[in-house]
Amino acid sequence: MASTAATALPDLWDRLTGTQPDPELWVVVATALAALAVVVPHTLWRVARNAITIAHEGGHGLVALLTGRTLTGIQLHSDTSGLTVSRGKPYGLGMILTAAAGYTAPPLLGLGGAALLAAGRITLLLWAATALLLAMLVMIRNAYGVLTVVLTGGTFLLVSWLAGSQVQAAFAYAVVWFLLLGGVRPAFELQAKRSRGGAGDSDADQLARLTHVPAGLWLFLFHAVSLCSLMGGGRWLLGG
């Protein structure tokens, strides 16, 4: 038994840190088109946006912890909205970075994922995503949020352990394309709401109150991060 465990651990480490072959170009393009087909139609986006909300609220939570704030809890709602609550000074750099992390988290996660895939680290990407989802689950404070994170994390876990290498590669590329493409749409949705006089308590408006910088400039930052991430990440995924 001890010998088996001693052998299994190095094998597990090698699998985690090793590289996997890139999928064929048609797989990369097909997963990009599949992600686009989910992001563009309103009906499919309405459901898939839950995954972007997980990344959005996870970004708030992670940066809150990194800046020394106390993360109280995260809620995910069926209308794809979310709420992350942290304790600390209601002003200052930590609060500003925490507020700015939401809309920028999905595209930046996609960019990081694209970098891993470009380096052939498909297994590492899948396991890292699973670990982040498990860590986030501890902080979820409502039933719908628990269900959403469990289903998402369970999907990653099943693909990581049971699927073949080709399926893992296609799944990983589809996820990263979805983060890159899906990370662009929320900023445009926020812009549309603000043009109609809504979303008065959005992240951009909170940042405006914290920094005295107009909300429109923060919205421009969200657009810039998401579009630049899409261009850079897309180039990596396509082998540029």
pLDDT digits over 48-62, tens only? 999 999 999 999 999
Give a yes or no: residue 13 inside a domain. no
Give a yes or no: residue 166 inside a domain. yes
pLDDT at 5 over 80: no
Using the 8-state DSSP alphabet, how is residue 83 labeled? E
Using the 8-state DSSP alphabet, how is residue 140 labeled? B
pLDDT at 14 over 70: no
Residue 105 neighbours by CB distance under 10 Å:
24
Give a yes or no: residue 123 inside a domain. yes
Average pLDDT in the chain: 93
Q: Report whether 163 contacts 122 (CB < 8 A).
A: no
**End-to-end CA separation in angstroms for the chain:** 47
Q: Report whether 50 contacts 148 (CB < 8 A).
A: yes
Percent of the chain residues topping a pLDDT of 90: 85
Give a yes or no: residue 4 inside a domain. no
Q: Report whether 182 contacts 48 (CB < 8 A).
A: yes
pLDDT at 105 over 70: yes
**How high is the pLDDT of residue 19?**
80
Nearest to residue 84, comparing CAs of 113, 108, 105? 105
**Polymer length in residues for the chain:** 240
pLDDT at 165 over 70: yes
Query: How many domains are contained in the chain?
Result: 1
Query: Which residue range forms the structural domain that includes residue 123?
Result: 25-237
Q: Report whether 211 contacts 96 (CB < 8 A).
A: yes
Average pLDDT of the residues in 18-30: 90
Average pLDDT of the residues in 214-221: 97
**How high is the pLDDT of residue 197?**
85
Nearest to residue 232, comparing CAs of 117, 149, 98? 117
Give a yes or no: residue 20 inside a domain. no
Distance CA 125, CA 130 (A): 9
pLDDT at 86 over 90: yes
pLDDT at 16 over 70: no
Give a yes or no: residue 19 inside a domain. no
Distance CA 51, CA 113 (A): 15
**How high is the pLDDT of residue 1?**
52
Q: What is the pLDDT of residues 116-146, one digit of tens each?
A: 999 999 999 999 999 999 999 999 999 999 9
Global pTM reads 0.92
pLDDT at 167 over 60: yes
Q: Which two structure tokens, joined as six digits, stand for 81?
A: 């909205």
